């Protein structure tokens, strides 16, 4: 039996091809955490989580993730059998509160290692894949209407994306909604348009702007209100026909249960990092599915490694009403894996080789790690 002998956590900074504007920050360089778990035979499981804008998005900064894994989680891993990843994660959950991003790093690296020990794709250890490919959205976030329209038309021409998300939480809401309207006029007959507010509106603003967005034909409104405002989200869901999607408000299983009980939305964004790993993501998806919530395969803008992890788990989930947005690697100037993602006919292809289907580029890791 080859048990865990070593755990290494690295922080990397990857530059993006263009500024990526969100409500809380503008990304030009993305901070990510790479996890490496090695067994006694020298095999290595690899994983990644990304964070957005330091502490502006959430409490799980890359620095906190690394520090808490090194101090509080690694001691529970050494000597353990990675094929018992479910048992190990259950034990860790009793000893370590919260820290979902840190738990995701560890769990996914263990699953990758277990799959490599057994020489099978990682998705075979988490229920088996349903999908060979999934619809892939692209976020138009330059902040410039003409640039966004040009970018959308090029993506349609390449058959890369026909679902576009617009980040409209920063700046003047009236101007942002007009920006959405111009893009719908330009490409709305060939693509589905969604918007993400990133918690930036109050309820008064949301009532006015969602009415306008609904009339334009936007298909989904993501997290218009702050994550704590479940009652406001419920009122918006009841008032409008357009889907109201919860993201930052739906992290843990308990959050998801509360979201559904209060009908504080009618759709939910999945993200392995925010849920605490693959197993928790599948549980959240099952709860949402049972309640009739539409699912969206979300992203923390991971690079090609984290993207492969998300693709593998999403491949095991029955239906994504709003597709996925695991486009992260397409936003970076470089990658940390030998393999790139494959997008064909508006769909991302699910990797089929051993583990999560990607190989870490050691030279790139050495170049980009802090």
DSSP string over 286-326? HHHHHTT-EEEE------HHHHHHHHHHHTTSS--TT-B--
CATH 3.20.20.120 segments of the chain: 126-349
Distance, in Å, from the CA atom of 285 to the CA atom of 269, rounded to the nearest integer, reads 9
369 given a catalytic annotation: no
Distance, in Å, from the CA atom of 213 to the CA atom of 221, rounded to the nearest integer, reads 9
Name the catalytic one among 129, 167, 271, 274: 167
pLDDT on residue 55? 76
310-322 confidence digits (pLDDT tens) = 999 999 999 999 9
Distance, in Å, from the CA atom of 344 to the CA atom of 342, rounded to the nearest integer, reads 7
What's the token pair of residue 303? 């690079």
Domain 4-119 class in CATH: alpha beta
Domain 126-349 class in CATH: alpha beta
Instruction: Note the pTM of the prediction, 2 decimals.
Output: 0.93
pLDDT on residue 23? 67
Q: What angle do CA 25, 64, 248 make, to 5 degrees?
A: 50
Q: What percent of the chain has pLDDT over 90?
A: 91
pLDDT-derived band at 25, boundaries 50, 70, 90: confident
CATH 3.30.390.10 segments of the chain: 4-119
């Amino acid at each position: 039996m080859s048990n865990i002998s070593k755990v290494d956590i690295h922080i990397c900074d990857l530059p993006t091809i263009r500024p990526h504007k969100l409500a809380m920050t503008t990304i030009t360089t993305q901070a990510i955490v790479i996890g490496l778990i090695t067994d006694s035979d020298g095999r290595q499981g690899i994983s990644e989580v990304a964070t957005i804008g330091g502490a502006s998005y959430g409490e799980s900064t890359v620095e906190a993730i690394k520090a808490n894994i090194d101090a509080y989680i690694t001691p529970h891993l050494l000597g353990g059998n990675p094929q018992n990843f479910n048992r190990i994660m259950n034990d860790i959950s009793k000893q370590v509160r919260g820290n979902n991003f840190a738990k995701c790093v560890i769990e996914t690296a263990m699953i990758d290692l277990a799959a490599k020990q057994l020489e099978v794709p990682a998705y075979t250890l988490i229920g088996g894949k349903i999908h060979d490919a999934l619809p892939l959205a692209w976020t138009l976030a330059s902040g410039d209407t003409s640039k966004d329209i040009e970018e959308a038309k090029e993506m349609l021409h390449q058959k890369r994306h026909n679902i576009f998300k617009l980040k409209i939480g920063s700046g003047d809401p009236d101007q942002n909604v007009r920006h959405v309207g111009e893009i719908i006029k330009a490409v709305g007959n060939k693509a589905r348009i969604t918007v993400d507010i990133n918690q930036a509106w109050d309820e008064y603003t949301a009532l006015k702007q969602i009415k306008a967005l609904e009339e334009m034909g936007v298909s989904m409104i993501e997290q218009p209100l702050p994550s704590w405002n479940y009652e406001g989200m419920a009122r918006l869901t009841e008032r409008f026909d357009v889907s109201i999607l919860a993201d930052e408000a739906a992290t843990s299983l308990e959050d998801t249960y509360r979201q559904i009980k209060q009908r504080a939305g009618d759709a939910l964004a999945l993200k392995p990092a925010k849920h605490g790993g693959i197993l928790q993501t599948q549980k959240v998806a099952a709860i949402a599915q049972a309640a009739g919530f539409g699912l969206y395969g979300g992203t923390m803008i991971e690079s090609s490694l984290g993207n492969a992890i998300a693709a593998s788990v999403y491949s095991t989930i029955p239906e994504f009403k709003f597709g996925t947005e695991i486009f992260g690697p397409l936003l970076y100037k470089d990658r940390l894996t030998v393999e790139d993602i494959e997008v064909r006919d508006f769909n991302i292809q699910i990797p089929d080789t051993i583990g999560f289907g990607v190989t870490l580029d050691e030279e790139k890791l050495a170049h980009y790690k802090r």
